[in-house]
């Protein structure tokens, strides 16, 4: 996959798309959409575009409506949109900016201006993404941090309750982690946590939330998963971790697993029940999964 920033060009006139692509040739990975619906479909597909160049006058759904839908969708709301149009009236530009566009380029196009404005907004988007990653991810493991767990987890609980869908949570803890730090040193302990985090992240789905809860504790929110499925997934992870042998050490983990219930008013309630199950797993032998 290319490391170049991704630009989506949306224009129903082929020659216009080619002109825009020529202005940006070499610096970006470009995709073309011929109508508004195609733009919306591409925008939610991974990897998402880093910026959208959007024509206003298109058959069917015009650019204003496309922009409105992009900004109303949590999956696409942070993608910067630049309108590219022959409409040079101040009122048209104001309308576009009020809908959430970051810029407004009028035709006839000036290649150097197009390239400069796209570069500016791509740079701002990259800086925003970097700051967001720092705010939502754990520095040591690269997993989501506690702050994001509660933010994203609250949304998943609300969605599961609203649509009556199953949601499960696994809380896990590295067995005898203090012994690892004491006998082998904190750098080794950090390497163990990093190896476990990499395994957890690689084995979970994109819709799940995998987070470092603190210290040697991790939490996974399994979307669309009942307790039976979550227990099976946790048991698979427990077995894989036992075989992982990070830094040449045999490392095990204990798991407490719960499913969202009516009495759970928020994520704290699920975590409290999972913590109790985890405590039981620790007290009755460690290196096991207990689901309640």
> Tokens standing for 98?
């009020």
CA angle 3, 136, 210 (to 5 degrees): 90
> Tokens standing for 136?
């939502």
The catalytic site residues sit at 216
> Tokens standing for 86?
């022959």
For the chain, strand residue ranges (E) read 6-10, 29-33, 51-55, 81-85, 103-106, 167-174, 209-214, 217-223, 253-259, 289-291
Cα of 63 vs its chain's centroid, Å: 26
For helices 177-184 and 186-203, angle between their N-to-C axes, nearest 10 degrees: 140
Please provide residue 273's backbone torsions phi and psi, each rounded to the nearest 5 degrees. -70, -40
Residue 226's Cβ-count burial label (10 Å; 0-12, 13-18, 19+) is middle
Gyration radius (Cα) of the chain, Å: 24
Q: Are 181 and 236 in contact (CB under 8 A)?
A: no
**Helix intervals (H) in the chain:** 14-24, 36-43, 63-71, 90-98, 111-136, 146-163, 177-184, 186-203, 227-244, 267-283
Q: Can you tell me the distance from the alpha carbon of 81 to that of 51, in angstroms, rounded to the nearest whole number?
A: 6
């Amino acid at each position: 996959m290319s490391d170049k920033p991704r630009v989506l060009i949306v224009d129903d006139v082929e020659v216009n798309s080619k002109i825009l692509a020529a202005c940006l040739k070499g610096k970006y990975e470009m995709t073309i959409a011929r109508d508004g619906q195609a733009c919306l479909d591409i925008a939610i597909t991974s990897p998402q575009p880093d910026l959208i160049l959007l024509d206003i006058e298109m058959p069917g759904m015009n650019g204003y409506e496309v922009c409105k839908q992009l900004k109303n969708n949590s999956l696409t709301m942070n993608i910067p949109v630049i309108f590219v149009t022959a409409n040079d009236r101040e009122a048209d530009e104001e309308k576009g900016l009020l809908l959430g566009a970051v810029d407004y380029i009028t035709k006839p196009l000036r290649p150097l201006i197009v390239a400069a404005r796209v570069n500016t907004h791509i740079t701002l988007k990259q800086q925003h993404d970097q700051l967001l990653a720092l705010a939502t991810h754990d520095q040591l493991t690269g997993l989501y941090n506690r702050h994001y767990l509660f933010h994203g987890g609250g949304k998943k609980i609300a969605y599961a309750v609203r649509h009556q869908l199953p949601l499960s949570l696994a809380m896990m803890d590295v067995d005898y982690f203090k012994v690892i730090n004491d006998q082998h040193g904190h750098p080794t302990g950090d390497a163990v946590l990093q190896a476990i985090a990499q395994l957890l992240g690689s084995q979970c789905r994109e819709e799940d939330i995998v987070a470092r809860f603190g210290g040697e504790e991790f939490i996974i929110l399994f979307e669309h998963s009942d307790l039976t499925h979550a227990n099976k997934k946790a048991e698979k992870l427990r077995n894989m971790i036992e075989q992982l042998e990070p830094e040449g050490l045999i490392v095990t983990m204990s798991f407490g697993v719960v499913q969202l219930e009516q009495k759970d008013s928020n994520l704290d309630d699920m975590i409290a029940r999972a913590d109790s199950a985890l405590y039981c797993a620790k007290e009755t032998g460690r290196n096991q999964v207990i689901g309640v």
